[in-house]
Amino acid sequence: MSARRPGEGRGVLYRLYSSRLRRSLTPETVPHHVAMMIDGNRRWARQAGFPTVAHGHRAGAAKMHEFLRWCDDLGIRVVSLYLLSNDNLRKRDSQELADLIEIIAELADELSREPGWRVQIVGRSDALPPALARVLQTAQERTASNTGLHVNLAVGYGGRGEIVDAVRSIIAKHDESGGSLEALAASLTPEQIGEHLYTGGLPDPDLVIRTSGEQRLSDFLLWQSAHSEFYFVEALGPDLREVDFLRAIRDYATRDRRYGS
């Protein structure tokens, strides 16, 4: 009789539990659009004793690639990842920011090579370093005709700025047609603003997930998440497990979405 390896029993139980969670879900109960706020990468790196937080950001990026595969396997059609905010661009240490920009560029290139996936960049490209902006644009163009999992990468993104940009776009378009401000004010609707957001044409997120136990939006998809469900995971970003993800989807499936009614 062979000896059982340490942790082998836990591995079997984990796989059984994951399978049970997955079987409890049906296509009708799975969200169409999931937004993910990956958080805790820096804390993870410090707790692990790494000399720089770049190790945490790299581990977080790898986890996001894995997370997208979980979503694709479950039949989720749109995923939005919050990778770099406008606040990050202004406030992060210069070396950390340089490392993060390199990691995001690598991730975008990798995702654009996944068969069938479509990458869309949401954010202000003019606020990004030119080299990163070019990589992101190439990733988007390379996948423009794909019809599989739609991946929004929020880079140089801010929810308040997005709303401002949408309103500016509406005003500019109205001005080109020769309309008056009075007419614009009378005709402006939430649907019109939604069409001019970076995510115009896509469904709003059904579920927003954030790791590391933090419970705030941090300027992410402010307009789009008005009726979203929220799920907060205690695990730090790189430690997120598939069972954590499946629990979030199971929890979502049990909620009664009232949309303000």
Q: Which residues are known catalytic residues?
A: 39, 88
Q: Taking a C-beta distance cutoff of 8 angstroms, is the pair 80, 157 a contact?
A: no
- 232 is written with which tokens? 């907060």
Residue 9 burial (C-beta neighbours within 10 Å; 0-12, 13-18, 19+): exposed
Inter-residue contact 112 to 143 (CB < 8 Å): yes
Helices (H), 6-53: 8-23, 41-47
Calculate ∠ Cα 223-233-152, nearest 5°. 40
| Helix, strand, coil in percent for the chain, rounding step 5 | 50, 15, 35
Distance between CA atoms of residues 79 and 198, nearest Å? 14
CA–CA separation, 99 and 141 (whole Å): 24
- DSSP calls for 186-252: HH--HHHHHHTSTTTTSPPPSEEEE-TT----TTSSTTGGGG-EEEE--S-GGG--HHHHHHHHHHH
Residue 124 and residue 205: Cα distance in Å, rounded? 20
